[in-house]
A and B are shown apart, each in its own frame.
Chain A
Amino acid sequence: MIKLDVNGKQHQLDVAPDTPLLWALRDTLHLTGTKYGCGQALCGACTVQVDGAPTRSCVTPVSAVAGRKITTIEAVNTDRVGKAVQDAWRKLDVVQCGYCQSGQIMSAVSLLRQNRRPSDDDIDNAMSGNLCRCATYVRIRAAIHEAAKTLA
C-alpha cells in the first residue's frame, strides 16, 4: 500500500511501487486531467506539482512521492495563481486540441508562483519542456503575461 496526498486528499493505493504517478492518478484515482504523451519526460503533458514543483508524473514512481503534496490540474483553481492562469487561458482562448494544456497550465502556475513578472526568456525556460503539437505557443506566452498582469 502506498499513501498518496493528492489535491489535499489522502489515498491508500494498492499498486506496484514502480508504477508511475501518472498511471496511478489516471487509472487508479480516475484523475484523468493529467495526460500521457511520451512516457519519458519529453513532452510535459503529464506535469503535476509535487510540493509545488512541476514534476513529470510519467517518470515519477509513486514510491518516490508517497506522503508528499501532489497537486493536479483538477485542483489547480484552488489558489489565486492557478485561477489567474486558467482565467488568462480562457480570455485568450489558448487551447486547441487541449490534450497538452493541463501540463502547460501546471508548468505556468509553477513559474508564476516563483516569478510574478516573467520575461519572454523566463517563459521559454520554464515552458520549453511542454510540447504543444497544435503550437499554441504564441498564446501560451501571451496568457502567462496576462496572468502575471492580473496577479500584480
Chain B
Amino acid sequence: MNTIENLSRRRFLQGSAGLTLGFCLPALAAPVAGPGKAGEGVVGPIHFEPNAFLRIGTDNTVTVLSKHLEMGQGTYTGLATILADELDADWNTVRVEGAPADAKRYNNLFWGPAQGTGGSTAMANSWEQMRRAGAAGRAMLVSAAAIKWKVPAAEITVRDGVVSHAQSKHRARFGELAVDAATLPVPTELKLKDPKDFRLIGKQAKRKDSADKINGQARFTQDVQLPGMLVAVVAHPPRFGATVKSFDARRAKAVKGVVDVVQIPQGVAVLASDTWSAKKGRDALSVNWDESQAFTLGSEEIFARYRELAKTPGLVAHQHGDADQAFGKAARVVRASYDFPYLAHAAMEPMNCVIRLGGDGCEVWNGEQMQTGDQYALAGLFGLKPEQVTIHMLYAGGSFGRRASSHSDYVLEAAQIVKAINGRAPVKLVWMREDDMRAGYYRPLFHHALEAALDDKGRLTGWRHRLVGQSIVAGTAFEKNLVKDGIDQVSVEGAANLPYAIPNMKVDLHTPKDIPVPVLWWRSVGSSHTAYSTETFLDQVAEAMGKDPVALRLELLATHPRHAGVLKLAAEKAGWGSTPLKPGKPGERRGRGVAVHESFNSYVAQVAEVTVAKDGSIKVDRIVCAVDCGIAINPDNVRAQVQGAIGFALSAALHGEITLKEGRVEQGNFDGYPPLRIHEMPVVEVHIVPSAAAPSGIGEPGVPPAAPAVANAIAAATGKHLTRMPFNTAELAA
C-alpha cells in the first residue's frame, strides 16, 4: 500500500470536497468550456465523476479535467497521461477539458490557495494528485464490478478501459460500470502503481490537442463569438504612465460597424460589430495624451543608470566564505559585465479576452493562466464575489508567461470596457500585434557585473556577481512569498544558487523602483539572464585557468550529480573532446560551446555547434541537449519542449530586443522584433536521463542553457566573448 503523506492526503481530500457523487444532471454535466455552449444544457451521456478531475461517461468516454492551461507545453496530454495510467484507461477514449476556475478544487498545490499555471509546475504539483484521481476511479470501477459479478475485487483486473474477471469470464467496459460506480463511496486508501507497471507514463501517449489544432477547430480566445458580442480595439498611450487628456471620436464613429467609443483607464476603446471595423475606428480616433507623468527614459539611459548602480553594493542575495578577502588576495581577477534588454513574449495570439456581464456575475473566456488572481481582480472591479466570476479556460496561442499576468492587466482592460458600456453587450477585447508588443510586461532589462578571483596557483577562489534590474513580483500577490529581505528571488534565481564549488562567493542585487516599465515572467524568468551571465563568464574563467570548459564544470560540480549527469551526457553525445568539429568553408570559423543550468528543478545541459561567417553572421548548426526532469511523463513532449525552448532562446540570443527611446517602445511588429524562423533553426538532439525522481518542469528549463552554449561556441570559434544580448554580429566580423 502506498503510504499517503498527510499533507498530500489533506490536499487531496480537500480537492475532492464538495463533489457530487453519483449522477450528474445532464445540464450540469454539459461541458462549459466551449464558447457559446454554456447554459444550453447539452444532453450527454450520464457520467460517473469520482473526483474533480475525472468523469466517465456511459459511452466509455473518459474525460480528464485539466486545472492547468494548455498553451502549447503539452499539459493537457501530460495530466491525462498520469491519470489515465492509474485508471488503466484506453488512451483512445480519453479526452481533456479545461477545468472551471475554482481554487477550492483546482488550486496549484505549489501555490497554496490559488489556481494558476506557471513556473513549470503543472506536472510537478499534479503528479500525485492526478495519480490518486485515476487510482480512485479505477478502485470504484473495480468495486462496482465486484459487486455486480459477485466476485472478489482482488481478482479483478483492469486494462485499456476494460474491467475483467478471468475466472468468471466477466468483462465490462468502463461505461457499463459507470452508473454503478457512481453510487459507491470514494475510497480514501489507494494503491498506486509500481512505476514498472506504467503503461502510458514514460511511453508514447500522443498529444490530445493535435487533431483540433491541425484542422482549424481548436478554440482560442480570438475565436470566441457570442450573440450580440462587440469587438473592442483600444488606443493605448504612447508612453508608460501617460493618460487620456481628451479625444475626438467623430471620425471613429463614422466608420461603418463602429457602435461606441468609450474612455477607460487604459485608453480609449472603440467598439464595433467586427474586428476590422473596430481597428479602423481605433485608427481614426484622435486622442490627446497627458504625458506629464509619463516615463521618458530610453533603454540606453536605463542601462547607464544600472551601470552606475552596479558600482555600489546591493542587497546581498547569497554569500558564503569571504569573497572580498579572496579578491584581496587574488593573483588575477577576471571581470565581465553584461547587458540584457527588455524582451516581449510575443505569443502568436496577441492578448485578448472576452467578458460578459450577466444577472448574477460575469463570465470570462480567456487562455486563462491565473484563475484566482483574475477572479479577485474582476470581482473587485464589478463589485462581485470572486466565485461569481466564471472563467472558461480556452487554449492559449502561446503565452511564455504573458498570460500569467499577476496584474490581470489585459483581463482588467476588457472588464473596464464592459463596465464602461454598463455590461449591455459581451465584449471581446482584441489587441493588435502593436498593442501587444508595446504594452510592457516585458522580461526586465538587466545589467550584471561578474568577477572571479584566481589565486597564485591559478585556482578559482572567489566569485562576485552583482545584478541590477526591476522586480517582477513587487506589488503583486506573489511578493509575500517571493521577496525575502528585499530580494526578489526570481531576480537572482540561477545566480544566487550557483551550483559550482567556489569557496568564496557573494551575489548582490539592486532593484530599481523608479522605472515604471511593466515587467513580467518570461519563459525561464530569472534564468533567462542569469544562466547566460554565469555560464559564459565561467567559460572566460576556464580560459583564464587554461582549463577545458566541461572538465572545469565537472570539477566544480562534484556534489551536484544531476548537473554533472546531464553535462556528461550532452558532452558525450556531442562528441566533446572526442570528435573534432568539421572545419567550415574558407573564411568560416566554427566552434563548440557548452552550458549547464538547473531551473524549476530540472537539469539541462546543451552543447552548441556554430559557424561564424566572415561578416560575423552566426549560424547555429546543431544543439545536443541532455535533460533530467525526473520521470519523463511524455518523453516525446519533453523532446518537443526542449526543441521549442531552444528556438525560443535563440530568438532572444540572435534578434530579440525591445528598446525604449524617450519612453516610447521602438518595436511594434515582427519586423522590428523578429522571432526565429525555420531556416535559422538548428538540428536539435535531445537525450533524456532515465530517472525515478518525481517529475519536475519541462516547459521552461530548455531555454536557459541555449544562449550561453551558443555564445561559448562563438567564443571558441572567434575568441570573442559576447556580453550583450542580442548578439552583436558586427563584433564578430573577421
Contact = CB atoms under 8 A, between A and B. Distances in A.
Contacts of B74: 96
B592 to A, nearest CB: 20
B214 A86 contact: yes
A134 B398 contact: yes
14 contacts: A32-B216, A38-B669, A89-B210, A96-B398, A96-B644, A97-B396, A97-B397, A98-B395, A98-B397, A131-B675, A133-B651, A135-B675, A137-B677, A138-B681
A139 interface: yes
A100 B187 CA distance: 44
Given A27-B275, A98-B72, A123-B678, 15 more contacts: A23-B274, A36-B222, A36-B350, A38-B670, A73-B216, A74-B215, A86-B214, A96-B398, A97-B72, A97-B349, A97-B397, A98-B212, A99-B398, A100-B397, A139-B640
Contacts of A16: 256, 276
Contacts of A20: 276
B256, B643, B644, B678 — which one has the most chain A CB atoms within 10 A of its CB?
A: B678
Contacts of B72: 95-98, 134
B678 A96 contact: no
A43 B681 contact: no
B249 interface: no
B214 A37 contact: no
Contact of A95 (B209, B222, B225, B679): B209
B647 A137 contact: yes
Among A20, A38, A100: residue with most chain B CB under 10 A: A38
A140 interface: yes
A19 B256 CA distance: 11
Given A35-B222, A90-B214, A97-B72, A135 B348 contact: no
A139 B643 contact: yes
Contacts of B648: 133-135
Interface in B67-96: 71-74
B82 to A, nearest CB: 18
B223 interface: yes
B216 A132 contact: no
B225 to A, nearest CB: 6
A97 B640 contact: no
Interface string A115-150: 000000001100110111111111111000000000
B216 to A, nearest CB: 2
Contact of A93 (B207, B218, B231): B207
A100 B348 contact: yes
A33 B216 contact: yes
Contacts of A39: 432-433, 669
Nearest to A88: B214
B160 interface: no
B51 to A, nearest CB: 28
A128 B187 CA distance: 54
A99 B677 CA distance: 16
Interface in B534-562: none
B223 A32 contact: yes
Interface of A: 15-16, 19-20, 23, 26-28, 30-40, 42-43, 45, 72-74, 76-77, 86, 89-90, 93-102, 105, 123-124, 127-128, 130-141
Given A45-B348, A134-B72, A86 B215 contact: yes
Contacts of B207: 93, 95
A97 B348 CA distance: 9
B684 A96 contact: no
Interface in B213-258: 213-218, 220, 222-223, 225, 231, 256
Contact of B209 (A35, A98, A136): A98
Interface in B387-440: 395-400, 430, 432-433
Contacts of B217: 33
Contact of A136 (B71, B395, B640, B683): B640
A101 B678 contact: no
Contacts of A124: 678-679
B176 to A, nearest CB: 30
B676 interface: yes
A96 B214 CA distance: 11
Task: With a 10 A CB-CB cut-off, give which of B276, B349, B644, B646 has the most chain A CB atoms.
Answer: B276
B245 to A, nearest CB: 28
B384 interface: no
Contacts of A40: 433, 669-671
Contacts of B400: 133
Contacts of B650: 135
Contact of A23 (B209, B218, B275, B646): B275
Contact of B643 (A42, A95, A135): A135
Given A35-B348, A124-B679, A101 B214 contact: yes
Contacts of B671: 40, 42
